[in-house]
Structure 1
C-alpha cells in the first residue's frame, strides 16, 4: 500500500508539472494558431536564470521568483510574439514549425553560451528536501504539494478565463477572425501578446518546478526534451480544452510512475520505455483523435518555388561534381572526410525536398530513418574482419529497403494526419526511436539467438566496397557521395516533372480537390513517405560510414530539427536548397566555430573577441531560421531570382566568374588562404546581382522597371518631391480620376492695387433670407 501511494503521489506531481507546461501550449495555440515547439526551451532558459539568481548570486527565493516569473517570463513571451510570431501570417505550416524550432535551438545555444554545459548545476526543492509530511505511509514534500496546488489553480483559472470572462472570448476570437475582432473595438495584437506572455510565464514555472523532481540537475537538452513530453498532454485536450489537457497530463504522470514501480524486474528496457511513454501516448492520441475535414480550396501562401527542367538539373549536377573536385584540390586530407559528412547530410536533406517541398507532408525526424538503415547494415551488411571490413552492396540495399518499409509503417497509421498533427507524429517516432532503440545496449535472446540492437552504445560502420571501387580512400568517398547526390537530385527533379510529381503538387495545394479528381491520397502519401525514408536511409548509411563510428547521439531529434531548419532556410523546394542546408547542418557551422576556437588559441591577445564570434556563429543558424518568416521560399530562391535578372548582363556574369577563377588559382598556388578564398567566393556569389544592378541597371532591371524605380511613388508626391501640376496629373491617373484641365491663374498688375469692396452684412443676410436660404 505504501508503494502504491508513493508512486501515485509521484505520478500526480509529475502530471501536474506536465499540465502547467501543456496549459501554456494550449493558450498560445488558441490565440495565434501557432504550435510553439520552443516551449520547452523557454522553460529551460527560465530554470537556468532562476538558478543564476538564486544560487549563483544568492538572491532570496521570493525575489528570484518575482524576477523570473513576473518579469523575465512575460517579457520573453511578448518579445517572441511581437518580434517574430505575428509575422508568420500567410505562411505554410512547415515555415511556422521551423521558426519555433529555430527559437528552440537558439535558446539551447544561448544557454550553453552563458552557462557552460560542463559545469554542474543543481536546483533543490522549495522549502528544502527535508520539509515533508507523511500521507498514508508515503512521504510527501512541500515542493510536491506546491506543484499539485499550482497545477489545479492554473487549470481552474484558465478554464474560468476562457469561459467566463470577456478577455477569454476575445482571446479565442484572435485566431478565428482577427479582422472581425478588430472591427468590434479590440486590438488582436495586444490580446495575442498577452497570451504569449502568460504562456511563457507558465513554461518558466514548469521548468523551475520540474527540475528538482527530475533529479535537480540542470542540463539544457534534457530539460528541453522533458518539457516536450507535455506535448502529449496538450494534444490529449486537442489544443483546445484545458480540463482534458489536465486529465491527459495526470494520466501520463501516473502511467510513467506505475510502469517504473510495477514493471517486471526481467524487463531490462523498463527505464527506456518509461522515458518513451509520453511519445508513445502522443502518437496514439494523434491517431485516435478526430481530424479536421479536407480543405476545399487551395491555401495561397507566400512560398514560391521554380522547378528546373531535367536537362538543367543534369547540367547543374555535372557542375556540382566538377566544383566539389576543384574544392577538394584545395583541401588538406583531414578536411576531406569533413566535407564528405556534409554531403551525406545533404542526401538526408534531399528526402525532405521530396516529402515536404513537393508533397507538403511533414517529417521532423529524417535522421531516425538513417538510424534504422545504419542498424540494419551493421548487423547484416558487413563482410570481412578487422581493418578489412567493408560494407556490401546487398547490405546497403537491404538497409534502404528496411528504412523505406519503416517509413511506410510509420506513415500507415498517420495517413489521415496533416500539417501539425503529422509533424508531431513523426517527432514522436523520432524521440521514441532515440529513447527506446538507440539506448538499447543490453543483450537479448530470441529463438536461441543472442543479439543487441545498439551494441556497446556505438556502431562501427566500415566504408563500402563495390568491385574496384573502395570508399576507404577519402577522395573516392567524397566524389562518390557527390555523384550519388547529383544522381538523386536529377531523379528528384525528374520525379517532380512527371505525372506523379504533379499529383503530389496537387495534393499539397488542395487535398480535397485532388481527391475529387480521382487521386488516391492514401497511395500518394504512402508512396512518397517510403521514397523519402529510402533516401534518408541511404544518406544515414553513408553518413555513418563517413564518420566511422556512430552513437545514439548522432541521430537525436535535435540534429534532425536542425537539419530541417537549415533546409527550409536554404529552400526546401529546391535540390540545391537540400545541398546547402545539409552541408551547413552537417559541418558548415561546426567548421566556423572550430576556426574561431583555433584563432583564439593562436592569438591569446584576441581570445575574447574570437570566442565571442564563435558563440555568435553557434547561435547564427537559429537566428537565420527565425528570419525565414520574412523569406519563406528560402535563400536559394532569393539567389535564383537575383541571377535571373543577370541574364542580359553577360559582362557582370563573366566578370564574377573570372574573379572567382583568379581567387581559385591564387588559393591553389598557396598565395591566398583557403579561408579567404571561401569567404570572398561566397560574398561574390551573393553580391553579384547587387553589383549587376549598380553597374548595368538598364540591362539587369529593364527600362520600364528602372523608370518605375526612379519615379517617386504616388504616396510620396508632395513629401519627397514638390507638389506640382505634373504630380497632380500623376495622382489623378493612379486613382483613375478623369483628367481636369485647370486654367492658369492670371496675375494682377502690381501697380494697381486691388481694393476690396465693403460688404454690408445686414443686406447680405436679408438677400439670403428672401432667396430661401437659412
Structure 2
C-alpha cells in the first residue's frame, strides 16, 4: 500500500503537467480550429529558454520565469498566429496541419542547432532546498505540490475564461463559423490571437514544470506531447474537465506501469509506449463527429502523360548514372540514399495525394522493410526483397482497419501514435519465437544489411546499389503514374473527395482503404530495404517519428499528387543536407531547419512545387532546337567532370546557368509576338490568365 501511494503521487504530479499542456491544446483548437502538433515543441523551447536564463546566464529564478512566461511565450504565440496560421486560416485542414508539423520540425531543429544536444543541462526542481511534505507513507516534494497546485489553478481560470467572460464566448463561437460569429459582434481574429497566446503560455508552463524531472532533450520534451494528445482526445478536443480526467488516467498509468510492470526484456518498452497505445485506443473508442469531414477542400491531381512518365523514369536513371560516374566513393555513399528515400516519399502519392489519407508513419513502415530484408536477405536472394515488400504491405493493411474509424486530424494522430509505438516498443523488442519460428527485429541494437543477387551478380558496392535504387524508383514512378490513369486511381480520388458519396455510388470503403494503405506501405517497404542496403547497418533511431517528419514535409512541398515528387523529395532531402554538412558541425541541424521553414512558406500552395517546376520547364522540353543544345551542354559537362578537366562544382554551376538561360529563351520563343490576334490566343501563344477578362471587356464595349 505504501508503494501504491508513492506511485500515485508521482502519477498525479505527471498528470498535472499533462493536464496543463493538454488544456492548451484544447484551448487552441476550441478558439482557432487548429490542432497544434508543435504544442509540445513550444513547451520544449520554453524549457530551454528558462535554462539559458536561470542556469546559463545566472538570472534570478523569478526574473527568468517572468521573462519566459510573460514575454517570450506570448511573443512566440503572437508570431505563430500572425505570420504562420492566419494566412492559412481560411484554407483547408490539411494546410493548417502541414504548418504545425513544419513548426514542430523547425522547433526541434532550432533547439538542436542552438543548444548542443550532447551537453547535459540539468534543471533544479523548484524549492528543492525545502524539506519534502509527508502524506502518510508517501513523500511529496515541493516541486510536485507546486505542479499540482498550478494545474488546479489553471483549470479554474480556463473554465472561468471560457464560460464566464466575453472573450471566452468569442473563442468558443469563432471555431464553428467565423463569419456568423462576426455578425454577432464577435472578433474572431482577436479570439484566435488570445487563444494562441494562452495556448503557448500553457505549453511553456508545462515544459518548465516537467523539465527538472526528465532530460532536457529537444526530441524527448517535444514528444511528451503524445501524452497530452491522449488527454486532449479524452476531452474530444473541446471539454476541459474530460481533458484533465484523461491526463490523470495517463499519468497514473505511466506511474503504475513503472512500479508494477514485470521485469523482463520484452515489457520495458510498454511503459514508454503506453501513452501512444492509450491514444490509439481512445481514438478508436471515442466518437469524433466534431471533426469528421470538416474543411476538406479538393486539390486537383494532375494527370501524368505516358510520354512525360517515361521521360521522368529516364531522367531518374540518367541522374544515377551521372552520379556514379562523376562522384567519388565517399560522395556516392553520401548521396546514394537519394533514390531510396525518394521511394519512401513517393509512397505518399497514392495514399495522401490520391486517396487523401495522411499518414505520419511511412518511415516506420520503411523500417519494417529494412528489417525484413536485413534478416531474410543475408544471402542476397531476391525472394527476400519480395517478402520485405509484402510484409510492409501487410502492416499497411493492418493500419487501414482502424483508418475506417478515423479521418482528418484523428487519422494523423493515429498514425503518429503507431510510429511512436513502433519506435518505443516494437523496434526495441529482443528476439522471440512464434510457433517455433525465431523472429528478430533490431534486437536492441543494429541490423547488418547486404545487397541482393541480380542476374548472378552480388550487388554490394555503393555505385551498384545507387543504380539499383534509381531503377526501382523509376519503375515505381511509372507504376504510380499508371495507377493514376487507371480506374482504380479515379476511384481513389473519388474516395478522397467524399467517402459518403463513394459508398453511395457502390464503392467498397474497406477494400479501397486496405488496398491503398497496402500499396503505399509496400512502396515504403521497398524504399526502406534499399535504404538499408545502402547504409549497410540500420538502427531503430533512423525510422522514428521525428526522423520521418522532414520526409513528410518535403513530400508536401513537392506536391502529394505529383508523380515526380519522389525524385524531387530525394534530392531536396539529401543534397542540401550534404552541402550544409560540409560547412562544419554548426550546420548539422540547419538542413532540417531549412526544410521546416520551406514547409511553412509553401503550406499556402498545396499543389506543391514539383508541378510548378514541370510547367516552367515544359517549353524547353518541347523546343526541338534548344533542347538538343541543352543536352549537348550537359553531356559536355558530364564528360569534363568524368575526365577531371574542371572542378565539379564549377561544371554544376555552368550547367545550371545554361539550363536556366535556355528555359527563359524557350518560354519567350513559345510565347511568340505580342501582336497575335485575339482569335488566335491559345493557339499561336499560350492562353494567359487575364485574357478572359480582356475579351469580356471587349465584348461588353460592343454591346
Taking structure 1 as the reference length, the TM-score comes to: 0.84
Q: Which residue of 2 aligns with 1:253?
A: 251
2:646 aligned counterpart, secondary structure:
coil
Report the CA distance between 1:452 and its aligned residue.
Answer: 4.7
Kindly tell me: are residues 324 and 454 of structure 1, through their superposed partners in 2, closer, same or farther at Cα, counting changes over 3 Å?
closer
1:626 aligned counterpart, secondary structure:
helix
Report the CA distance between 1:338 and its aligned residue.
Answer: 2.8
Kindly tell me: are residues 536 and 701 of structure 1, through their superposed partners in 2, closer, same or farther at Cα, counting changes over 3 Å?
farther
Report the CA distance between 1:648 and its aligned residue.
Answer: 7.5
Separation in 1 of the partners of 2:8 and 2:295?
49
Q: Are 1:286 and 2:286 counterparts?
A: no
Are the aligned partners of 1:363 and 1:423 in contact in 2 as well (CA < 8 Å)?
yes
Q: 1:161-195: per-residue Cα shift (whole Å, max 9, x none)?
A: 22222211211222211122233333322220111
Separation in 1 of the partners of 2:292 and 2:661?
41
Report the CA distance between 1:116 and its aligned residue.
Answer: 1.3
Q: Which residue of 2 aligns with 1:472?
A: 460
Separation in 1 of the partners of 2:539 and 2:659?
37
Q: Which residue of 2 aligns with 1:673?
A: 647
Kindly tell me: are residues 309 and 544 of structure 1, through their superposed partners in 2, closer, same or farther at Cα, counting changes over 3 Å?
same
Q: Are 1:642 and 2:623 counterparts?
A: no
Separation in 1 of the partners of 2:305 and 2:583?
41
Q: Are 1:315 and 2:311 counterparts?
A: yes
Are the aligned partners of 2:41 and 2:222 in contact in 1 as well (CA < 8 Å)?
yes
Matches within 5 A, 1:326-345: 326-345=322-341
Kindly tell me: are residues 685 and 505 of structure 1, through their superposed partners in 2, closer, same or farther at Cα, counting changes over 3 Å?
farther
Kindly tell me: are residues 676 and 196 of structure 1, through their superposed partners in 2, closer, same or farther at Cα, counting changes over 3 Å?
farther
Separation in 1 of the partners of 2:661 and 2:128?
60
Q: Are 1:437 and 2:433 counterparts?
A: no
Q: Which residue of 2 aligns with 1:159?
A: 159
Separation in 2 of the partners of 1:281 and 1:318?
47
Report the CA distance between 1:130 and its aligned residue.
Answer: 4.9
Matches within 5 A, 1:119-268: 119-128=119-128, 130-214=130-214, 217-265=215-263, 267-268=264-265
Q: Which residue of 2 aligns with 1:300?
A: 297
Q: Which residue of 1 aligns with 2:598?
A: 624
Kindly tell me: are residues 117 and 298 of structure 1, through their superposed partners in 2, closer, same or farther at Cα, counting changes over 3 Å?
closer
Separation in 1 of the partners of 2:661 and 2:608?
17
Q: Which residue of 1 aligns with 2:578?
A: 591
Are the aligned partners of 1:286 and 1:425 in contact in 2 as well (CA < 8 Å)?
yes
Q: Which runs of 5+ in 1 are unaligned?
A: 383-389, 598-610, 715-729, 740-774
Separation in 2 of the partners of 1:264 and 1:620?
44
Rg larger in 1 or in 2?
A: 1
Q: Which residue of 2 aligns with 1:392?
A: 381
Kindly tell me: are residues 293 and 20 of structure 1, through their superposed partners in 2, closer, same or farther at Cα, counting changes over 3 Å?
closer
Q: Which runs of 5+ in 2 are unaligned?
A: none
Moved more, 268-277 or 531-540: 268-277
Kindly tell me: are residues 524 and 154 of structure 1, through their superposed partners in 2, closer, same or farther at Cα, counting changes over 3 Å?
same
Are the aligned partners of 2:292 and 2:408 in contact in 1 as well (CA < 8 Å)?
no
Kindly tell me: are residues 490 and 712 of structure 1, through their superposed partners in 2, closer, same or farther at Cα, counting changes over 3 Å?
closer
Are the aligned partners of 1:295 and 1:510 in contact in 2 as well (CA < 8 Å)?
no
Report the CA distance between 1:645 and its aligned residue.
Answer: 5.5
Q: 1:414-441: per-residue Cα shift (whole Å, max 9, x none)?
A: 2121111111111111110000022224
Q: Which residue of 2 aligns with 1:65?
A: 65
Kindly tell me: are residues 619 and 677 of structure 1, through their superposed partners in 2, closer, same or farther at Cα, counting changes over 3 Å?
farther
Q: Are 1:481 and 2:469 counterparts?
A: yes
Separation in 1 of the partners of 2:442 and 2:160?
50
Separation in 2 of the partners of 1:171 and 1:275?
35
Are the aligned partners of 1:377 and 1:396 in contact in 2 as well (CA < 8 Å)?
yes
Separation in 2 of the partners of 1:58 and 1:258?
37
Moved more, 482-491 or 305-314: 305-314
Q: Which residue of 2 aligns with 1:375?
A: 371
> What count of residue pairs does the alignment treat as equivalent?
698
Kindly tell me: are residues 508 and 450 of structure 1, through their superposed partners in 2, closer, same or farther at Cα, counting changes over 3 Å?
closer
Report the CA distance between 1:662 and its aligned residue.
Answer: 4.5
Kindly tell me: are residues 689 and 174 of structure 1, through their superposed partners in 2, closer, same or farther at Cα, counting changes over 3 Å?
farther
Taking structure 2 as the reference length, the TM-score comes to: 0.92
Moved more, 680-689 or 246-255: 680-689
Separation in 1 of the partners of 2:104 and 2:675?
40
Are the aligned partners of 2:226 and 2:276 in contact in 1 as well (CA < 8 Å)?
no
Are the aligned partners of 1:269 and 1:440 in contact in 2 as well (CA < 8 Å)?
yes
| Coordinate RMSD, CA, aligned | 3.1
